Chains A and B, each alone.
Chain A
């Protein structure tokens, strides 16, 4: 596939191991992957790259994932990008809060295999 026509996915995640896992799965299925290990870097990339989808961790070293989510959904350039929140915290409180702030999907880390993740993404962006 032409490099420019590949769907773009932005991963905002501070744990290198999860970036590695998602990147592996996504690149094997012809997605172009961008990575950010802080919330602020993620917001910058979201604006410059305008990805087709964002995978967002809730616990980040600078600002919280909730904060990032709020900013993504508040900015004209990024508000229409679907966001999947990925967290180890699978409690109702977290899920509820993320959904209120505009998260399109919520997945619990460790409870989802690569094929689950991929299926979800394909369904959302219709690739």
Chain B
């Protein structure tokens, strides 16, 4: 209980009219940055960090926490509305949220996203309070071999993205890996850079994702002639168009309950946490769903809510290594760490002991950021959702400009805008030939990480693969990987058997669900 009083003190300590104002400003400016395609939480923090230099440390941290959550949610908004994810972890949101928006369920998708973030943020804040010390010991046992295995787990989840069409799926993965090889490799020599300074750090993920999803989608829509169709008339003020309906609640709720602890657990692992957790939540939801065929097709609320919850809980989980070990667990926390130095705080295992009011203030303000985000969004979602009422001939040019702007802003590089346009065409042809852009993007993110960690492990072990079985955490991860591979084989017959037994009950269930739903027009 002592811990909870710490948390309450943390919240009380940062609560004042000034900080509430800073929270509002932070959430809104974070959202504005995050809504720009390609600009996710870490970019948002980096862009807005200089704004906080003039503030007191506690005020600065309150504002940054607000920016962090605002930018997180901003990426959700752009993923759902214009299919342009701001970071790798939002790819599932785009996969499920955008189809929902296309059939007039944009506001419920955004509400589910906001609630998933809020609930996951709350659960994670409590877990952080209770489990931080224990979680820290897990973190410090994750060296390169464990990171490699964890990333392999993430890659295994792509099986779920690929579905039955495994040849095309494999081709998409290989394309992603291939793009990921560009740049200076671990040993210092260059691969496919042709001496260009623009390419020494590799082909960045963000312009690729914006091109493949955002702009690629527009090209695909034009090719399909969907722009000539009338959009579903949606009255965003109507209750039924704003709140998720009963089946969306039920699917989303379960997914949130599963995604939050998963995300927190993965978030405490430095490096791969957020992305891998969101992908795992997605494949888990698809795996246990009764209607997996809706995933990535007409939009499944569970596939949106689960990864969103996992993503958000992972963001809080990433605070565990930062606060207890002084080790940044993600790109965003690395920016925060830079801020710590700026405010003359010494990151390290003693941070919580030496500056308890600061550490708890940080946790408290992350929680408050979540609350303010939810409140702000209840009012803002109808406005955002109205975007779906704009006809495509009007919207498409705007999205194109936003995509180009977003690709440029991240690093101020015109080359990246070129990469974005190139990937738009790549995305178009991938859709045309039934390849999977989502798989490519994930392979691009995870491939180089897997390569680097594999090579680090092998350098450390003098080339022996024994390093993967001689360390306890590695063995645990190997077992999980084996289970993931075997489970689907075992699960199918079990599922069928269970399915038969409950066939009658399920029929009743879906009957009920259908009658509770408001009638919808499918537009995909």
- A and B: interacting chains: no
Which A residues fall within an 8 A CB radius of B? none
Residue numbers of B with Cβ under 8 A of A are none
